[in-house]
A and B are shown apart, each in its own frame.
Chain A
């Protein structure tokens, strides 16, 4: 068995998600190669070579892969896939964008967002917003899989894989990058943070989200949000936690002014400890919270900040 893992990277840095995908690859078993595709990605390749369990890093460094547009990335992976039994990527917006193209062009199914490897052909994945877990078995010769990071503990560093370059240059005349507006934050990444504090519609405005800042500073937390808070324009889309946003599983998740719709729970119910702050004692979020505090968030948040 041989597995190709697509590396996730941003701004010339290897993203944390890749170490989780390599962990999933180790659970499948076999040789693990990592593909780093992008422009000026030498440092990414070096970081990937250090991941435990990786045998080889293949680097496609070319302007056509800048911004990792789906069309050239898909074409590159299709060229390489023939050497492998499995192609894996993180279930991030990059992985989700690219991998189904590879599956379709190789005429195989894709298995999305696996959370457990049963054996090399059999995987568990959540369906219906995580309200059911499906076990699926693939008889395809190539398995194309996206991996949910929260399902697999990241592998450590300590490896020293060989790095080789791939000189395939896909051509792409169909799509081009125009611009990107990325959130700037000194806080930890939502998906990797040990503590997450999220605000919902109950926060009332974007301005009021500042009430979460002091607490997040003290706890080293990332800040998230419900869909209602994003739709209302309080905060940007990249903060949405849930079935169709980011999936998080921190040590501590604090939900503030969030009712606890199944679509929100889908993104956070695997957190180790859940705290809910809500003025409605009947709010469904209390059914999953380890510690619930009923009351007005505008009183509770300043007090909580002062007592931490």
Chain B
């Protein structure tokens, strides 16, 4: 079974972002970028399926600027066999990303596609579900466990009330939650080897998809800052403040 993994280049999760002075967007100049953490979990799951002999080939795909090839090389170092870069300098909304991924799915015919549940930049949590709808495939979102059984897939999902298990026909779409696995780190020899693995570059036009969106970003602002409070010296003082000053208990 071929497994396709979608990885997105985003701001490193440790970086505190700044809003541009003209409020047009978040300032990403000279900011450390990385693979979206949920995509790292997706790559790890695909590689583990290959190590278990369930997957025969792992293909990583990204949509983004030239620099996004760094994240594809990371995926290759982590164990993906080859990579596809859909190169565009434009802002790609989730719908366009899903349309492009649907075209890649049509060409590659994978048995399973794994995405992150959410990109930590836009916090959209949409692309996997959109891809499932466009490709006409079932979805197992927010997965904390994935088990392939013949031509079926059992997915345990993290839902608001606890855990839910669903069974899907394959091919299927899975999006990862935090507890699915703990991603490994790439080792130096693997990073070297990854440089020689095949990486195909395509354009959205090659796939026949229009990237432009009907959504306009009008403004980006910083949220209202909380003003720092005080330190209290004892439990008594805390209880007193909560009762008589804040009046919340």
Contacts and interface: CB of A to CB of B under 8 A. Distances in A.
A288 B225 CA distance: 9
A187 interface: no
Contact of A70 (B121, B141, B241): B141
B126 interface: yes
B105 interface: no
B205 interface: no
Contact of B238 (A71, A177, A293): A293
Interface in B105-143: 117-118, 120-134, 137-139, 141-142
Given A97-B129, A137-B216, A180-B163, A291 B241 contact: yes
Interface in A213-255: 219, 227, 230-231, 236-238, 243-244, 246, 251-252
A98 to B, nearest CB: 8
B216 A93 contact: no
A129 B120 contact: yes
Given A97-B129, A130-B223, A174 B168 contact: yes
A272 interface: yes
B169 A173 contact: yes
A104 B121 contact: no
Given A138-B214, A175-B167, A243-B120, A100 B219 contact: no
Contacts of B16: 131, 262
A111 interface: yes
A85 interface: no
A140 interface: yes
A92 interface: yes
A108 B98 CA distance: 12
Interface in B209-224: 213-223
Interface stretch (A33-41, A42-50, A120-128, A155-163): A120-128
Contact of B219 (A102, A134, A236, A275): A134
Contacts of A178: 154, 165-167
Nearest to B128: A100
Contacts of A252: 242, 246, 248-249
Contact of B17 (A92, A97, A131, A304): A131
B213 A109 contact: yes
A65 interface: no
A174 B151 CA distance: 11
Contacts of B231: 281, 286, 291-294
Contact of B220 (A111, A133, A137, A286): A133
B248 A272 contact: yes
A243 B116 CA distance: 14
Contacts of B121: 127-128
Contact of B162 (A94, A128, A129, A181): A181
A144 B26 CA distance: 24
Q: State the majority secondary structure of interface residues on A.
A: mixed
Q: State the majority secondary structure of interface residues on B.
A: mixed
A293 B179 contact: no
A140 B214 contact: yes
A292 B161 contact: no
Contact of B178 (A100, A182, A183, A227): A227
Nearest to A183: B162
Nearest to B38: A244
Interface string A259-281: 00011000001001111000001
A244 B144 CA distance: 13
B200 interface: no
B248 A273 contact: yes
A269 B126 contact: no
Contacts of B127: 100
Given A109-B213, A246-B160, A286-B231, A126 B95 contact: no
A220 to B, nearest CB: 10
B56 interface: no
B157 to A, nearest CB: 8
Given A103-B126, A104-B98, A110-B95, A244 B118 contact: yes
A281 to B, nearest CB: 8
B228 interface: yes
Contacts of B241: 291
Given A131-B222, A289-B228, 4 more contacts: A101-B132, A127-B26, A133-B220, A244-B178
Interface of A: 10, 67, 69-71, 74, 92-94, 96-105, 107-113, 122, 126-140, 173-183, 191, 195, 219, 227, 230-231, 236-238, 243-244, 246, 251-252, 262-263, 269, 272-275, 281, 286-294, 300, 303-304, 307-308
Give the 6 A-B residue pairs with the shortest CB-CB distance, closest first. Answer: A100-B129, A290-B229, A174-B138, A104-B130, A101-B133, A100-B126
23 contacts: A97-B142, A101-B130, A104-B129, A132-B17, A133-B221, A139-B216, A174-B172, A177-B164, A179-B165, A180-B161, A180-B164, A219-B249, A237-B144, A237-B158, A243-B120, A243-B123, A244-B178, A274-B226, A274-B229, A289-B229, A291-B242, A291-B246, A307-B239
